[in-house]
Amino acid sequence: MNLFRALSIYTMSSLLGRAVPFFLLPIMTKYLTPAEYGVVSIYIVMVTFLSTVMYWGAHVHIGIEYFKMVESDYRRLLGSLSLIPLLIFLITYFIFFFVNAIFNIEAFSPCLFLSIPLAALLGYLYRLMTVYFRVSNQQYRFAFVEVITSLLQVFFSITFVVFLLYGVQGRVVAILLSSFIIASYLIFYIKSNKLMVFDFNLKFYLNYFKSGLAYVFNELGNQIIRIGDKFLIMIFMGSNFVGPYAVAAQVASIALILNSVFTQAWQPYVFKILSSNSSQEKRKLYTLTLVITGAFFFIYIALGAISIIIYDIFIDIRYHESLPAVKWLLAGFFFTFVYGIFADYMFFSKQIKKISLVTFFNLVLFVIFSVLFMAEYGVFGVAYAFSLSSLSSTILCAYLSSKCDYSLFKLKREVETQNEIKDKVG
C-alpha cells in the first residue's frame, strides 16, 4: 500500500465530503428559518447517535479483522455483522412508533420523527463499505462513493429546499434519498462481488456483544465530548455565549478533518504491518510514526496562525473575542490525534475495555474541568478543559497501550534490539 498516494486520495475525497455542510450553510440559512434550521440540526444529531447504536461497532470491527481472516471467513463476518443493524432497526422503529403515539413531539412531525431510524439504517452500508474500501486498498472506489454521496446531498438539498421550497421536509428527503441511492449502489456492488455470506450464528452474536458494546460506548463518548461543550456553555452561562464559541469551534474543526483524513489511510497501514512478521516494516512504521507526529505538531501550529487570518477576513468583528479559544481547541485536537496513534494498537490488540476506560475517563474529566474552569475563566474555560482532558486521556491511553500485545513502545524496543544486533555484527 502506498501510504502517501492513499493520503492524497482520501484527502481530496474527504475534503469534498466535509465541505458539504459548509457549502450548504449559506443556502440553508437563507431558505430555512432559524427554528427550521434548528430542527434539521437536531434531526441529524439524533440520526448520528442512533446510527452509533444501530451499527454496534461493525464498521470498526471489520477494519481490525480484515488482515487477520481468510476471505471466506471475512465474507461471513460481513454478513453476520450486517444482520445486527436490521434487528436494531426493527426494535428502534417500534420504540419510535410508540413514543410518537404516546408523546407529543413538538419539534418533529410524525413522518420526520419516524424517519430517523430509517435514515440511520440507510447510512449503514456507506459506513461499512467505506471502511472496507480503505482496508482493502480500494482508494478510488472509496473516493467515488464519498464524492457521489456529497454531490447527491447538495443536489437534492438545493432541489427540495431552494426550488421546491419544502423546508425541513425537503432537507430530510434529501438526506434519505441520497442515502437510499448510495445504499442501492453498494447492495449491487456487494451482490456482484459476492462479498457477504449471511449466516445466523447465535454463539457469534453472544461473543460479539461485549466488544460491540465497547465500540458503541467509545464512539458515543467521543460524540458527546464533541457536542457537549456547547450544551455545557448553554446550561451554565446562557445561549448568548454559545455563538462566539461555536465560531471558534468551527474554525478549529479544520483539524478534525485532517485527523479524519489521516486516520482513513493510516489505520489500515498500521493494521497490515502489525499483521505481518516483517521486522523491517515494523521498524519503518515506528520511524514513520515519529516523523508524522512531529509533522502534525507543526501543522497544528500553522493552523493556529492561519486562524488569525481567517478571523480577520471572514469572521465578523462581533465574534473576534472568541479567537483565543481556537488555539486551545487546536491543542486538544492535536492531543486527540496522538491518542488515536496509541488507540490503534489497542484496537488491534482487541483491548476494547481499556479503550472504553480511556473514553469514560476523558468524558468525566472534561465535564469536571469545564464546570470548574467556566466559573473562573468564563466561556474559555471549556476550551481549556477540552485541551487538558485530551492531554490527560492521551497519557492514560499511551500507558494502557504499552500493556497491550501490540504497542508503539514494543516496536521501539524491537527497533533498538535490531540496532544493537547490527552494531555487534558491524
Domain ranges of the chain: 1-200, 228-417
Q: What are phi and psi of 237, to 5 degrees?
A: -125, -20
Mean pLDDT of 404-413: 82
Look up residue 299 and give its DSSP letter: H
The pLDDT value given to residue 311: 80
Q: Mean pLDDT lowest for which of 7-21, 129-143, 238-252, 357-371?
A: 7-21
The pLDDT value given to residue 186: 95
First to last CA, the chain: 32
The band of 399, judged by pLDDT with boundaries at 50, 70 and 90, is very high
Please check the confidence at residue 118 and state whether its pLDDT lies above 90: yes
Question: What pLDDT digit, counting tens, does each position of 70-82 carry?
Answer: 888 889 989 999 9
Residue in 375, 373, 380 with CA at minimum distance from that of residue 248: 380
Mean pLDDT of 217-227: 73
The upper half-sphere exposure of residue 6, i.e. CA atoms within 13 Å in the direction of its Cβ, equals: 20
Report d(CA 381, CA 277) in Å as an integer.
Answer: 47
Please check the confidence at residue 51 and state whether its pLDDT lies above 60: yes
Q: Mean pLDDT lowest for which of 7-11, 23-27, 421-425?
A: 421-425
Question: What pLDDT digit, counting tens, does each position of 180-204 carry?
Answer: 999 999 999 999 999 888 888 888 8
Residue in 23, 65, 248 with CA at minimum distance from that of residue 158: 23
Mean pLDDT of 385-395: 93
Question: What pLDDT digit, counting tens, does each position of 320-343 carry?
Answer: 888 888 899 999 999 999 998 998
Report d(CA 41, CA 30) in Å as an integer.
Answer: 15
Q: Mean pLDDT lowest for which of 147-151, 225-229, 339-343?
A: 225-229
Please check the confidence at residue 426 and state whether its pLDDT lies above 60: no
More confident residue, 46 or 30: 46
Share of the chain above pLDDT 70, in %: 85
Mean pLDDT of 378-401: 91
Please check the confidence at residue 147 and state whether its pLDDT lies above 90: no
The pLDDT value given to residue 89: 94
The pLDDT value given to residue 418: 64
The band of 261, judged by pLDDT with boundaries at 50, 70 and 90, is confident
Q: What does the buried/exposed string (b/e) look like for 240-261 if buried means 16 or more CB atoms within 10 Å of the residue's CB? A: ebbebbebbbbbbbbbbebbbb
SS (H, E, C) 359-419: HHHHHHHHHHHHHHHHHHHCCHHHHHHHHHHHHHHHHHHHHHHCCCCCCHHHHHHHHHHHH
More confident residue, 131 or 177: 177
Q: Residue 320 corresponds to which cell in the numbers above?
A: 473576534
